[in-house]
Amino acid sequence: MSAQKPAVSKLEAEAIAVSRDPVLAHMLAEEKVEVAGRDLQLLKRLLGYLRPHLLLASVCVFMAVIEALAMTIPPYIVGLAMDRASGVTGRTPRGFDHLLDAIGEVALSAVDRVPTDTAALITYFGVMSLLFWLLRFGVAVATSYWVQKLSQLILHDLRVDIFAHITSMDMGFFHKNPVGRLVNRTTFDVASLSELFSDAFAQGMRDILFVLVLYSVMFTIDPLLGTMLLLVVPALVLISRLYQRMVRPALRANSAVVSRMNGWLAENLAGMRENQLYRREPRRAAEYRSLTEAHQTAQVGMVRPWAWVRPAMMLTSSLATAAVLWLGYQRVLEGIITVGVLLTFIQYTARLWVPIRNLTEKFNLVQQSLTSGERIMEILDEKVGMNDGPSEGAVTVAPSRGEVRFEAVRFRYAGREEEVLKGITFTAQVGQMVALVGDTGAGKSTVAHLISRFYDVSGGEVLVDGVDVRQYRLNALRSSIAIVPQDVVVFAGSVRDNITLGRAVDDATVWKCVEAVSARAIVERLGGLDGSLDEGGRTLSTGERQLLSFARALVGNPPVLILDEATANVDTSTEMVIQEALRNLTRGRTTIAIAHRLSTIREADEILVLGHGAVLERGRHEQLLDDNGAYAKLYRTHLAGSGEAS
């Protein structure tokens, strides 16, 4: 199936042409829903989420049947009443006749009065009809609510699953998928699925049940008329299918254009300064105008099919009414049915198209939801990246000493030819500091990543406390390592949660750590440990965020510390505080530092100079300078022309 790519429809081509936008074509391609069979597969998987809620689900189905029955009865009562009204005799009791008679008897005996004439009897019928409407109202409200509850429960489960799945993926996955995309999968795509559940599943199930019940009732009353009306359904479904075929390209185009327009605006608001600095305003306005033209094309493509599908359906329904009237009359003449039954049928016919119209109307939503669903499944189908140690005999005890050893470690990213690390060997003894220096792309960050086992080596071994990192349970390994990255992540929430990350640590310990990294003043300014931090920690400067991140590392008291250019973004004025804090942080811990600052490097027990994935030189600062090799050159490039001798 994949050999033949779906051709771009005329409408989509037109939309791309008027927009003159390269990104839009790209996005349209992404909107393409692939093989039709996948919809079923998707539904099957989603239905799997029903399993924990089977009881609620069966209650919903049961209630929906009751609701459909309750809705079928009032037109029946009208017919029955009419027969009584026109004094028709010879009505063969069928369908709900017995039920209604029984209810009538109970009701009449309850008021303890026998109706004196037909007119009064019909009034009772009216009251009975009202009661059934009331019953139907109650049942419908309950059904609706339970169905909504069921869908929301499923969506909640789905969201939690996706989140858990994504947060267990390895770094390669996060490399491949930008954060924005993953966020959309977790929230917006699930929200879009919510339409599928509450409209397509919930309403659709009730609509279909209603049609089924209606047909069953019609068959019991008059099989021939019922059979004839069966023809209406294929006609309506055919119209609905035709509509879907016509509108699908427009829907796809529209969804792509809308997200492109939103993306365009978000981007140009963010880059407004650049637009103005570079006088792009007229050009941007023209770009946007082209997008709105493409949008209009898509909208027209959506309106036109809709403008005929609805009349076509209503007309089919009228045709059916006319046919029932005509055929029914013949049946009445033959004495097979009464006028009342015919009236009931006419009312049923008028109702028959409503559920099918509903389903057609929801088509747009369902289409979008299915696309969202597929995207979600795509993510859920990705295998969890990192195995959690060997299935048997994994080390569950966290390494406590903190010796880190690399044995001829080689590494290449999945699917890449080129090796990032080409046989790195070194040992950081307990409590030592090893500094990694070298140009961008030399492999420094990769070394750091391998210790926490964000990736697995492609050759050699990484050992912590003498045990290969692949032998540990991930949790055990990682709880012994603290990473301090260059860009500090601040989570919205309390200061305490940001430092402890939810670990059970008492406040005294947290304060001790905060003090050790000279962050007391900051925490106090924020309102203590209960003070709140907003998204991204916007109220903090880079240096302040960094200090909090130090406290976060310290609170777990890990034997191994990884500093990934931890101080690169800090300006000279905050430098002193940070240096002091850093000394407290690294004391007594094995530290692997991807270093930036000379002050850090100078204190290192060993410096590894990396170049193209290999160790070019190793040794202490003075020693390396004396060697006058790569390190010395690196050192001098920075000092060249500064007018100062080293």
Partner 1 sequence: MSFWSDVPRVVRLLKGERANYGLGLLALWVVNFSDVMAPLFLAVAVDLMASSLGGAPPKLPAIMGYVGLTPAQFNLETAIACFFGLQLTANIARYPMLVMTSIPSHRVGQRVRNELVGRLLSLSRGFFDRSKSGDLMALQTNDIIAVRMMLGPGILVGVDTLMLVSLVIVVMFALSWKLALLALIPMPLIAIVTNKLSHAEYQRSEAVQNDIGRLTEQVRESYAGIRILQGYAREGYDRERFRLASFRHYGKSLDLGRVRSVFDPALDFFLGSSTSIVLAVGGPAVVRGEMSLGSFTAFLFLINFLSGPMVGFGWAVSLWQRGRASLKRLDKVMSEQPEVGDVEGAIALDGTVAIEVRGLTFGYAARGAAEIGTEEREVAVAAPEQAAALDGVSFVLAPGKLLGVTGRVGSGKSTLAMLLTRIYEPPAGTIFVNGRDVRDYTLSSLRRSIVVAPQDTFLFSDTIENNLLMGLDAETAGGSDSRASEAARLAGLASLAEEIEELPKRYGTLLGERGVNLSGGQRQRLAIARAIGADPRMLVLDDCLSAVDARTEARILEQLRTVFEGRSGIIISHRVRALEQCDEILVLEAGRVIERGTHAALLAQGGHYAEIAHEQTKEAVSE
Judged by CB under 8 A, the chain residues 309 through 368 that form the site for partner 1 are 310-312, 314-315, 318-319, 321-322, 325-326, 329, 332-333, 339, 342-343, 346-347, 350
In the stretch 189-228, what mask flags binding to partner 1 with x, by CB under 8 A?
--x--x---x------------------------------
By CB under 8 A, how many residues form the interface with partner 1? 172
CA separation (Å) from 198 to 64, 190, 369, 550? 14, 12, 11, 47
In the stretch 90-129, what mask flags binding to partner 1 with x, by CB under 8 A?
---------------------------xxxx-xx-xxx-x
CB burial of residue 337 (10 Å; 0-12, 13-18, 19+): buried
Question: Which H/E stretch holds residue 561?
Answer: strand 560-564
Nearer to partner 1, 43 or 88 (CB): 88
The CB-of-477 to partner 1 minimum distance in angstroms stands at 8
8 A C-beta contact, residue 124 and residue 108: yes
- What is the Cα–Cα distance from 119 to 104, expressed in whole angstroms? 15
Amino acid residing at 595: A
**DSSP state for residue 384 in the 8-state scheme:** P
Binding to partner 1, residues 535-554 (CB under 8 A) = 535-536, 538-542, 552
- What is the Cα–Cα distance from 72 to 339, expressed in whole angstroms? 18
Binding part of the chain for partner 1, among 7-15, 47-55, 238-246, 304-312 by CB under 8 A, reads 304-312
Nearer to partner 1, 37 or 282 (CB): 282
Phi and psi of 44, rounded to 5°? -60, -45
Binding to partner 1, residues 272-301 (CB under 8 A) = 272-281, 283-285, 288-289, 292-293, 295-296, 299-300
168 is an interface residue for partner 1 by CB under 8 A: yes
The CB-of-323 to partner 1 minimum distance in angstroms stands at 9
Nearer to partner 1, 58 or 86 (CB): 86
- What is the Cα–Cα distance from 438 to 611, expressed in whole angstroms? 6
Nearer to partner 1, 408 or 491 (CB): 491
Nearer to partner 1, 310 or 422 (CB): 310
All residues at 6 or more sequence positions from 559 whose CB lies less than 8 Å from its CB, including other chains: 399, 400, 401, 402, 430, 480, 589, 590
Nearer to partner 1, 6 or 485 (CB): 485
Nearer to partner 1, 312 or 365 (CB): 312
All residues at 6 or more sequence positions from 555 whose CB lies less than 8 Å from its CB, including other chains: 499, 500, 503, 505, 509, 510, 513
Q: Which of 56, 3, 364 is nearest to 202 (CA)?
A: 56
**DSSP state for residue 399 in the 8-state scheme:** P
134 is an interface residue for partner 1 by CB under 8 A: yes
Q: Which of 178, 217, 221 is nearest to 70 (CA)?
A: 217
503 is an interface residue for partner 1 by CB under 8 A: yes
Of 33, 50, 61, 153, the residue at the interface with partner 1 (CB under 8 A) is: 153
Phi and psi of 192, rounded to 5°? -70, -35
Binding to partner 1, residues 32-91 (CB under 8 A) = 71, 74, 77-78, 81-82, 84-86
| CA-atom Rg of the chain in angstroms | 36
DSSP result, 287-313: HHHHHHHHHHHHHHHHHHHHHHHHHHH
Amino acid residing at 542: T
The CB-of-139 to partner 1 minimum distance in angstroms stands at 8
433-437 vs 421-428, strand pairing mode? unpaired
Binding to partner 1, residues 457-496 (CB under 8 A) = 474-475, 477-479, 481-483, 485, 489-492
Nearer to partner 1, 4 or 326 (CB): 326
In the stretch 419-438, what mask flags binding to partner 1 with x, by CB under 8 A?
------------------xx
- What is the Cα–Cα distance from 559 to 400, expressed in whole angstroms? 6
Binding part of the chain for partner 1, among 37-45, 214-222, 582-590, 634-642 by CB under 8 A, reads 634-642
166 is an interface residue for partner 1 by CB under 8 A: yes
Nearer to partner 1, 5 or 638 (CB): 638
The CB-of-615 to partner 1 minimum distance in angstroms stands at 14
Nearer to partner 1, 430 or 568 (CB): 568
- What is the Cα–Cα distance from 493 to 508, expressed in whole angstroms? 20
8 A C-beta contact, residue 226 and residue 218: yes
Nearer to partner 1, 35 or 303 (CB): 303
